[in-house]
Structure 1
Amino acid sequence: MKNYQFLDPFQFKKNLVLKNKIVMSPMTTMASFYNGMITQDELEYYAARAGGPGMIITAVANVSEEGKGFEGELSVANDEMLPGLKQLATTIKKDGAKGILQIFHAGRKSNSKILRGTQPVSASPIAAIYPKDSEVPHELSETEIKKIILDFGQATKRAILAGFDGIELHGANTYLLQQFYSENSNQRSDSWGGSREKRMKFALEVLKEVNQTVEKYARPDFLIGYRISPEEIETPGIRLEDSLEFAKQIKGEIDYLHLSIGSYKRTSLNDSTNKVPILKQFAEKLNGEIPLIGVGSVELPHDAEDVLNSGADLVAIGRELLREPKWVEKVMADDEKSIRTSISPLDMNELKIPSVMQTYLNTAFNSVMHFTTDKTLVENYQNQVAPMEGFEKKI
């Protein structure tokens, strides 16, 4: 076995120890029940991938029913979800991986059909540019904002009770936490909008609530992570400078920062003169004060090593763990030649990919999966957004 640094253990400042530096990215399964309860298909999907990574981050779970973003979404919105969430945490942790529950509120990235007749909500009554049929959301009142902040706290408490090792706030991919920070979706004139400092307030209040919950109910090593999209491609919108400043402001409130980009080699999409990879810029801004998770088109061991050499502390792998559930085990067994970097649609049942997720991968994600039946040019997403980032594919 080669001496890869990503196979070394990693210890957080809170003393939680990972058996290696590989993280399974949060990936949408669309396989939960209609009410957000976990299904057996999902448990089998996670079980097939639980043996290798040091940490597994779940598909996102909504913190409140009106925060649901799509059908088949996991929920942590009420205590009825606890038995299933306990099963999920146990499944993920069965071979020594640490389990992180990703939580969110979709905000305007939902619609009245998914919400069973209820209008989606956001910072301001402005429809998203993508998808084209996005609905105008209801502008959240002060009371409603504070209720959602409390919902994040209650969701964190349920994650603790279910046996997870941490939570990750999904502040990326244009969901509600990002919507409040973006000039595109937040054009309020009260204390929750206007200046960059005021647009940051919602995320900071959510972090405050979550930290208080963790301090009250969790073990000392329970983690709080935050996922961030470095840029938006709309105008006005979040630019790289905004996100770097955001990271600087929240790093004292979190235990790690997780980027959301389609390629770890990505440079700025908005500033063609900025040739420094985004990953390196965030690493410099954090300056080793908290761990940084790099991600994006990591397929082979040299990619994972490159992510760490670029300044990240941990390496997240997503699509490649769909194609190759035993990725870490094969590297450890010096069996790299057998690692699959493409996937046959005929093998997805064998790979324990839920049937509804297979449909999703064959349609919305077809261009990023490296299907053996796909004869088109494979995109590397170094200079464009990937479908999972919440924007139009091409820019």
Structure 2
Amino acid sequence: MTVLNNTLTFRRGLTLKNRVIMSPMTTKMSFFDGVVTQDELNYYSLRSGEVGAVITAAANVQDGGKGWEGELSVASDKFIPSLSRLASTIKRNGTKAILQLFHAGRMTDSKVLRGVQPVSASAIAAERPDAETPRELTEDEIYHLIEDFKKATERAIKAGFDGVELHGANTYVIQQFFSPHSNRREDQWGGSLEKRFNFINQLVDGVISVVDNSNVQNFIIGYRFSPEEYEEPGIKMADTIYLVDKLADKELDYLHISLGDFKRVSVSEEYKEKSIMQYVHEKINGRLPLIGVGDVRTKEDAENTLANAELVAVGRSLIIDPHWTSKVLEGKEDTIRRVLADQDREELMIGNGMVEFLDFMMPERLR
């Protein structure tokens, strides 16, 4: 039996039936106000039941944290009913449901926010076309933001999810506090590496306290991170090794790296002898599970990923073939759909909102 079929039990007691996770991927399928749609439920239902867990697309914890149209929201109690439907839809045949929590920070714009200026750790625009300069968060607003992540965690518990993932990757607000590019503060929230970690430190501890002080059983907490930035100054591998070391000592259930290729090597000269994942996995040193990810298309890819991780996240392959997991686990790889044509979209429950994401992530797909 392949190791992909092995169960895994987290420190808080939740057990996954296998080692395959559906990656969090933008769907742009929610209503304008963040409520889950039937199309969204259909999309997740088709891809649930075989994987060990599904991590949802990012859900904003504040209205001002909305990054794009069609985005999930967990910003108030009014979203609990539709989120409950999403959780129960995912939880078929033993698949676990994990809600990803985030705030876009400077990676949004005033059009999406209906005229409101984006916010971030500092008033520094992102290095992307037409990026707006955000407003620097006040200290009171930073504490309020941490509280909103905690409230979002409470809502995830009430909605019946099996866990939450803090989205500290892909240049969103959690990462913005850690990045020397987006965080130019000179108070307790910025300056030195240790101070740039302060927001993450207090956020993670706060969410852990919510879960551990509740009556919920088998509810897990994960943290996703991007290992490097290309901006100057930006997050380097040495920064990430520091971050991983700190987080691995906390009462988290897993860490989840964000990579486009599980074999990727660092751009830093001092970290080129091994893959990024291997450096990270060695630093964790068994303190908690790591989810590996990055262009996993075959059983061999998945098993190679597990050489430096305990779990493997699969994204594009599950968009193209929702039954990728069972076909891999049952030795039927030759039946896996490998390309995606436009005429397949209705069958695969892929709405118009995902086309931009697919074009970015899968430029080789058939049109």
TM-score, normalization: structure 1?
0.90
Q: Distance in 2 between matches of 1:271 and 1:262?
A: 20
Matching residue of 1:198: 195
Q: Distance in 2 between matches of 1:203 and 1:188?
A: 15
Q: Distance in 2 between matches of 1:319 and 1:39?
A: 22
Deviation at 1:254, TM superposition (A): 1.4
Give the counterpart letter for 2:221 in structure 1: I
Native 8 Å contact 1:292 1:314 kept in 2: yes
- Residue 366 of structure 2 is aligned to residue 372 of structure 1: yes
Distance 1:50 1:86 in 2: 15
CA contact (8 A) 2:316 2:362 kept: no
Q: Counterpart of 1:192 in structure 2: which amino acid?
A: W
SS of 1:198's partner is: helix
How far residue 218 of structure 1 moved from its aligned partner, in angstroms, is 4.5
Residues in 2 aligned to 1:282 and 1:200: alpha-carbon distance in whole angstroms: 17
Task: Pick one of 25, 28, 31 that aligns with 1:27.
Answer: 25
> 1:289: which partner in 2?
287
Look up the match of 2:325: 328
Q: Which residue of 2 aligns with 1:112?
A: 110
Q: Following the alignment from structure 2 to structure 1, what is the Cα–Cα distance between the partners of residues 113 and 149? A: 19
Pick which of 197-206 and 334-343 moved more: 334-343
Question: Given that residues 345 and 371 in structure 1 are in contact (C-alpha distance below 8 angstroms), is that contact kept between their aligned partners in structure 2?
Answer: no
Shift of 1:219: 2.1
Q: Which amino acid aligns with 2:59?
A: A
Number of positions where the alignment pairs a residue of Structure 1 with one of Structure 2: 366
Query: One-letter code of the match for 2:300?
Result: H
CA contact (8 A) 2:237 2:271 kept: no
The one-letter code of the counterpart of 1:354 is G
Matches within 5 A, 1:171-250: 171-250=168-247
Tell me if the contact between 2:4 and 2:329 (Cα under 8 Å) persists in the aligned partners.
Answer: no
Deviations 1:173-194 (A, max 9, x none): 0000000001000000111100
Unmatched segments (≥5 aa) in structure 2 = none
Please give the secondary structure, in 1, of the residue aligned with 2:21: strand
Secondary structure at 2:57's aligned position in 1?
coil
- CA 1:272–1:209: 2 relative to 1, 3 Å: closer
Q: Deviations over 1:348-382 (max 9, x none)?
A: 1111112321x324543442xx4134xxxxxxxxx
1:143 correspondence with 2:103: no
TM-score by length of 2: 0.97
Matched residues, percent identical? 49
Cα offsets for 1:249-291 (capped at 9, x unmatched): 1121311000000000000024386131011111100001100
Contact 1:124 1:137 in 2 (8 A): yes
Residue identity matched to 1:157:
E
Partner residue in 2 for 1:16: 14
Amino acid at match of 1:364: F
> Counterpart of 1:135 in structure 2: which amino acid?
E
Q: For 1:86-114, what per-residue CA distance to the aligned partner results, in whole angstroms no more than 9, with x for missing partners?
A: 00000000221011000001100011000
Question: Which residue is equivalent to 1:356?
Answer: 353
| In 2: Cα distance, 1:172 partner to 1:284 partner | 20
Question: Which amino acid is the alignment partner of residue 269 of structure 1?
Answer: V
Q: Which residue of 2 aligns with 1:77?
A: 75
Q: Tell me, in whole angstroms, the C-alpha distance in 1 between the residues paired with 2:22 and 2:177.
A: 27
Distance (whole Å) between structure 2 residues aligned to residue 114 and residue 19 of structure 1:
39
Aligned letter for 2:104? Answer: A
1:90 aligns with 2:84: no
Aligned to 1:160: 157
Instruction: Report the Cα distance in structure 2 between the residues aligned to 1:150 and 1:268, rounded to whole angstroms.
Output: 35
Shift in Å at residue 314 of structure 1? 0.2
**Distance (whole Å) between structure 1 residues aligned to residue 213 and residue 289 of structure 2:** 24
Matched residue SS, 2:54 = strand
The Cα of 1:340 is off from its aligned counterpart by 1.6
Q: Distance in 2 between matches of 1:80 and 1:50?
A: 25
Pick the aligned partner of 1:122 from 113, 120, 123. Answer: 120
Asked if structure 1 preserves the Cα contact closer than 8 Å seen for 2:261 and 2:293, the reply is: yes
Aligned with 2:224: secondary structure? Answer: strand
2:56 pairs with one of 35, 55, 58: 58
- Offset at residue 168 of structure 1 (A): 0.2
2:43 to 29, 42, 45: 45
Counterpart amino acid of residue 256 in structure 1? Y
5+ residue gaps, structure 1: 374-395
Q: Matches of 1:90 and 1:254 in 2, distance apart?
A: 24
Give, as a single letter, the amino acid of the residue that structure 2 aligns with 1:205. Answer: Q
**In the superposition, relative to structure 1, how do residues 17 and 354 fare at CA in structure 2: closer, same or farther (>3 Å)?**
same
Helix, strand or coil at the partner of 1:59:
strand
Equivalent in the alignment of 1:256: 254
Distance 1:154 1:21 in 2: 29
Within the candidate set 314, 318, 333, 2:315 is matched to 318
336, 339, 344: which one pairs with 1:342?
339
Counterpart CA distance in 1 for 2:352 and 2:112 is 20
Whole-angstrom distance in 2 between the partners of 1:315 and 1:218: 30
Tell me which residue corresponds to 1:381.
none
**Amino acid corresponding to residue 168 of structure 2 in structure 1:** G
